[in-house]
Amino acid sequence: MGCHSALSQCGNPLFLEASSQAQVSTLCDAVHYCRDCYHNLCSCLAQETDSVVLSVGYRKLPDHHHPSVSKDCLNASIYFMKGLTTYGVDPSRVVVCGESVGGGILATVIQALFSFPSLPKICAQVLITPVMQLINFRLPSHQQNQNVPLLTKDIIMMSLCKYVDIDLSWKDAIFNGTCIPPDFWKKYRKWLSSDNIPRRFKSKSLLPESPGPFNETAYLETKQVLDAEISPLLIDDKIIAQLPQAFLVSCENDPLRDDTLLYKKRLEDQGVPVTWYHVEDGFHGCIILFDKQPFSFPCSMKIVDAVITYIKGI
């Protein structure tokens, strides 16, 4: 399936809305640190799923940090969903989609929308290699892929600190977990632990997963990472159980692979239908290279085709 657009301008997050002839509308929060990366991808999805793209701006780093981005995405989503009939959209066929940081923000937006019962319900969520938690960086995927190009350990820590507005000097405390209170880890370990990761994704050479010795000063300086608004994996079971069906994409060579696996487990435990697509030769961010010849990879188009097939099948 070919999707190659000549258009070049983009604003993030991106909202894909179906035309009056389409059966499905896709609201896509493609929040990322790379500018102008998503236009061709969203144009492709719009074309192949018979959708129309609406691009919405949001406040950006370095002047704005969390929660500005998530609030902007939520406010834009509410405004947009109130006017679905204006675009000739069937309110029962709204799909939301997000990649990387956008996937995590999208998850918080879906959860927040439960506070607005008058809005149409989301039909499905499509999360591509999402950031679902900023707490356990000792998961197998982080240990196995911490030096993989495009998203190394250092890039993750730098991006996290900038996004949450934490001094970079605390990055080691976050990575090693010394900022996590013992009672917090005891409470949420059931959702954050590698015990929930299938055996085939683990290796015998992994380091211990338990957080390092608790540092109260580090906790006070970094405690915002423990907020469920930043780590949507921590949301209560009663909310998880109400979430729409999900299409989850994970990549083998991705430090964030296990975030997807943990979220998959949480959804399935609460009876939410999940379609999981794992890309053995994939890496974080590869989807945006789908049309960037000669830098495109087979895994890029695999993900694009899988997302299109899923949306068209709803």
State pLDDT tens for residues 80-99.
889 888 877 778 888 888 89
159 is catalytic: no
**Looking at 29, 72, 254, 291, which residue is catalytic?**
254
In whole numbers, what is the pLDDT of the chain averaged over residues? 85
Higher pLDDT, 57 or 1: 57
Amino acid 147: pLDDT:
93
- Catalytic site residue 4? no
Do the beta carbons of residue 284 and residue 303 sit within 8 Å? no
Evaluate if residue 3 carries a pLDDT over 70.
no
Q: Looking at the domain that runs over 14-134+236-312, which CATH code has it been given?
A: 3.40.50.1820
Q: Is 50 one of the annotated active-site residues of the chain?
A: no
Residues of the chain with CATH 3.40.50.1820: 14-134+236-312
Q: Can you give the pLDDT at residue 83? A: 86
Q: What is each CA distance from 30 to 33, 96, 257, 299, in whole angstroms?
A: 10, 10, 18, 19
DSSP H or E stretch at residue 156: helix 153-164
Stretch (H or E) spanning 55 = strand 51-55
- What's the pLDDT score for residue 25? 54
Active-site residue, selected from the candidate residues 51, 100, 194, 300? 100
Looking at 43, 258, 284, 291, which residue is catalytic? 284
DSSP 204: T
Mean pLDDT of 209-228: 94
**Inter-residue contact 108 to 232 (CB < 8 Å):** yes
